[in-house]
């Protein structure tokens, strides 16, 4: 295991002497064993497995290996790309409860950094790659929380910036239904009032849209900004949030961020959620198949 961790750390680009690397590897081994023991103590009798990639190590019940392996393959590159400097290698541990498909995040921790996990998030998930991906992002957002400054945390209190929050029908729903004068003006096309409703301009207390909407804007800015977006966001904690979002999203100013985000939300309006092209095609296909079956089966009534 130590050799694997040495490799991971080397790939992650950590510039340290071999003694430091060995010390880190020993700490990682110890941490993994601690998690394994914690999982067993928590009543998880299932065999556990450890998945490792650049910057991330995940301890999961072995039966969920495939789902978490697929999720890790997607999440790890996106996670690493958020930073200009290579972040610390993180360990995330999960356990399966007695109900199949019910997962609990036992804890997560950055190697060589203070523990930020062990929050015991209760999750009822189907163990699909998508569910595993959500869980990984939630755990990783816990780390972002520890890096965020107070201004950023005030703007999105208690909401973790998960990349999966990129605009969807729910955000369009929140924008279309939020009460308040600024939100109403925003709906009528006044984009300056959208910034007010989002708490980007004017007093912070004036924000009217739910914090989930603000978290979605933040996630979109990180996604839109590409490589190093998170590092740019937290680089200047004294600047207004709008400017910081603009830096993260590589936009000239906050107004451009809001405008582009609203366009993205508009494009994700839920009209397409009735079925989607695949759904319509599949439905028509099943109708044809069943119709052919009717004709075939009626040969011998």
Partner 1 sequence: MIGALWRLQWKSARVWILAGAFAAGLLPVVSVSQSWPSGERELAQFLAQLDVWSLFYPALAVGLGLIMAAVVGRDDRRGAFVYAYTLPIDRRRYAAMRLLVGLLALIGVGVALWVAALATVAVAPVPATLSAYPGLLAIKFTLLALIAFALGAAIAGIPAAGRRWLARGVALALAAQAVLLLLGLEVNFVRPVAEALVSRYGPFGLVAGRWMLIDV
Using a 10 angstrom Cβ sphere, with 0-12 exposed, 13-18 middle and 19 or more buried, the burial of residue 229 is buried
The nearest distance, CB 127 to partner 1, in angstroms, is: 12
Residues found in the chain: 301
The nearest distance, CB 120 to partner 1, in angstroms, is: 22
- Judged by CB, which is closer to partner 1: 55, or 96? 96
The nearest distance, CB 147 to partner 1, in angstroms, is: 33
**Sheet order of strands, 48-53 included:** 48-53, 56-61, 90-96, 102-110, 121-124
The nearest distance, CB 206 to partner 1, in angstroms, is: 17
The nearest distance, CB 173 to partner 1, in angstroms, is: 5
Residue 134 corresponds to which tokens in the numbers above?
């959500």
In degrees and rounded to multiples of 5, residue 94 shows phi and psi of -130, 160
- Judged by CB, which is closer to partner 1: 205, or 295? 295
Please report, as ranges, the residues that interact with partner 1 according to CB under 8 A. 98, 100, 169, 172-173, 175-179, 184, 187-188, 269-271, 273-276, 278-280, 282-284, 286-287, 290-291, 293-301
E strand spans, the chain: 48-53, 56-61, 90-96, 102-110, 121-124
For 2, residues 6+ apart whose C-beta sits below 8 A from its C-beta are 22, 25, 26, 28, 29
- Judged by CB, which is closer to partner 1: 26, or 281? 281
CA distance 187 to 184: 5
């Amino acid at each position: 295991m130590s050799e694997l961790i040495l490799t991971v750390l080397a790939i992650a680009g950590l510039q340290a002497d071999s003694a430091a690397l060995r010390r880190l590897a020993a700490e990682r081994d110890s941490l993994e064993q601690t998690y394994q023991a914690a999982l067993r103590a928590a009543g998880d009798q299932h065999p556990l497995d450890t998945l490792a990639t650049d910057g991330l190590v995940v301890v999961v019940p072995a039966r969920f290996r495939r789902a978490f392996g697929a999720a890790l393959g997607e999440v790890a590159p996106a996670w690493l790309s958020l930073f200009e400097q290579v972040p610390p290698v993180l360990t995330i541990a999960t356990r399966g409860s007695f109900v199949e498909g019910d997962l609990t995040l036992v804890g997560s921790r950055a190697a060589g950094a203070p523990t930020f996990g062990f929050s015991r998030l209760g999750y009822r998930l189907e163990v699909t790659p998508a569910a595993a991906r959500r869980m990984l992002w939630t755990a990783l957002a816990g780390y972002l929380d520890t890096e965020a400054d107070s201004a950023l945390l005030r703007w999105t209190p208690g909401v973790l910036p998960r990349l999966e929050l990129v605009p969807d029908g729910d955000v369009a729903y929140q924008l279309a239904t939020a009460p308040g004068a600024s939100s109403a003006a925003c709906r009528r096309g006044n984009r300056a009032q959208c910034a007010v409703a989002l708490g980007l301009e004017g007093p912070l207390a004036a924000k009217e849209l739910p914090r989930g909407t603000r978290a979605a804007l933040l996630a979109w800015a990180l996604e839109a900004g590409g490589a190093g977006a998170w590092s740019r966001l937290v680089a200047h904690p004294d600047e207004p949030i709008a400017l910081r979002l603009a830096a993260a999203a590589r936009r000239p100013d906050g107004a451009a961020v809001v405008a582009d985000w609203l366009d993205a939300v508009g494009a994700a309006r839920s009209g397409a959620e009735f079925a989607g092209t695949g759904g319509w095609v599949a439905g028509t296909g099943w109708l044809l198949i069943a119709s052919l079956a009717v004709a075939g089966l009626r040969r011998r009534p």
